[in-house]
Amino acid sequence: MRTDLFDFDLPPESIALRPASPRDSARMLVVRGDDVLRDQVISDLPRWLETGDQLVVNDTKVIPAQLSGRRIGRPTEPRIDATLIKRLDGSRWQALVKPAKKLTEGDTIRFGNEGKVCLLGHLDAEVECKGEEGEVTLSFSFHGPVLDQAIADLGTVPLPPYIAGKREVDDQDAQDYQTMFAQIEGAVAAPTAGLHFTPALEAALRTRGVGIHRITLHVGAGTFLPVKADDTAGHKMHAEWGCISAETAAALNQARADGGRIIAVGTTSLRLLESAAAEDGRIEPFADETSIFITPGYRFRAIDVLLTNFHLPRSTLFMLVSAFAGLDTMKQAYAHAIAEGYRFYSYGDACLLFRGK
């Protein structure tokens, strides 16, 4: 499909720079496909679900994957910013770097500043190879848990560029950019629909008779990369690692057999569940990478309802929600959201989508 079909005008002021407080006070636009858009808040979620429904959340935990440093060993030492996106082994990571044109294979980047808390005060990495779109493979001077600690000491939360470009990352982001379900380290971006949840909301959902299940998808580089191709067929999704346990798969399958619906909290949960679903909709245990790219025309097999934030124009995520609820429906919903002052993107409001026909 043409990428420009998924374009729309988004005023810069619509992008949220901080989350709602408390988290479940964020707004929620309910889109049922009946041409009636309902303005709600996240704390209203239980009343839109039914006893026996199953909520699926992503328990990935964001690592402090944003590193700043300088190229050393040459006459000039330009600043280099790197976002770690995928661990290759004990000492090597794939990363997105800026400005990539300042680096060649064999260069050394020194992250951190002498005197800062991190072993010797800094962390060196050699540029092992360069790829496309600013990707490089970095071979670090430390290995395993020592490297993990060094990254934790020197790294910061990798806020999306649409937020980080407007303000500095601060200590509050370290809390705000993790969901209450965060447990398994490995993501470089938060599964942002999960940011809206609070213990009180979880309790209300359980009182309603809604089950809550955890799966893991380590959100990766695809979150940061725009769709540059003129046609969606020309866009390549980055692979992300995910896991669904046999116990969780069995529980979801049984609930659906009993008439319950599966509600994905976020596009990450949806993409993993759809990757693990058989043709008949049965969810299989999963422990692998997925690069599933969902656009209109895709036949959903596992998901009935989706809670998700508002996404950017021409993004793979707006394409996904358009596939789920219908492109015309989503354009109408987003026009309403913009007119009514809903807040977009990672720290923004949410919409509750019921699957279109």
Question: Tell me, what CATH number does 93's domain have?
Answer: 2.40.10.240
Adjacent-strand bridge partners of 172: none
Q: Per residue in 257-302, pLDDT tens?
A: 999 999 999 999 999 999 999 999 999 999 999 999 999 999 999 9
pLDDT at 34: 86
Task: State the Cα angle at 49 between 217 and 283, rounded to 5°.
Answer: 40
Is 168 a domain residue?
no
Is 324 in the same domain as 190?
yes
Whether residue 228 lies inside any domain: the answer is yes
Residue 236's pLDDT is 83
Domain count, the chain: 2
Q: Is the pTM of this model over 0.85?
A: yes
Whether residue 161 is contained in a domain is answered as: no
Domain that holds residue 126: 66-155
Q: Are residues 45 and 130 in the same domain?
A: no
Q: What pairs with residue 108 in β-bridges?
A: 72, 126
Whether residues 25 and 115 fall in one domain: no
3-state secondary structure of 175: helix
Residue 220 shares a structural domain with residue 324? yes
Residues 292, 150 share a domain: no
Question: In this structure, are residues 112 and 122 in contact, taking their beta carbons and an 8 Å threshold?
Answer: yes
Residue 347 and residue 204 share a domain: yes
- Written as one letter, the residue type at 47 is R
Q: Are residues 329 and 268 in the same domain?
A: yes
Do 84 and 186 share a domain, yes or no? no
CATH of the domain at 340: 3.40.1780.10
Are both 207 and 77 inside the same structural domain? no
Burial of 313 (C-beta count, 10 Å sphere; 0-12/13-18/19+): middle
Clarify whether residues 200 and 293 are in a common domain: yes
Q: Is 35 exposed, middle or buried (0-12, 13-18, 19+ CB in 10 A)?
A: exposed
Is the same domain home to 119 and 30? no
pLDDT at 160: 85
84 and 146 belong to one structural domain: yes
- 172: in domain: no
Q: Going residue by residue through the chain, which has 357 residues, state the pLDDT in tens, using 9 for 90 and above.
A: 999 999 999 999 999 999 999 999 999 999 998 889 999 999 999 999 999 999 999 999 999 999 999 999 999 999 999 999 888 999 999 999 999 999 999 999 999 865 444 445 689 999 999 987 778 999 999 999 999 999 989 999 888 888 888 888 888 999 999 999 999 999 999 999 999 999 999 999 999 999 999 999 999 866 656 788 899 998 888 889 999 999 999 999 999 999 999 999 999 999 999 999 999 999 999 999 999 999 999 999 999 999 999 999 999 999 999 999 999 999 999 999 999 999 999 999 999 999 976
Q: Residue 163: inside a domain, yes or no? A: no
Question: Is 160 inside a domain boundary?
Answer: no
- Domain assignment of residue 214, yes or no: yes
Which candidate, 146, 138, 152, 161, places its Cα nearest to that of 185?
A: 152
The strand ranges marked E within 19-146 are 27-31, 37-41, 54-58, 60-62, 66-72, 79-87, 92-98, 108-111, 123-130, 135-140
- pLDDT at residue number 168: 87
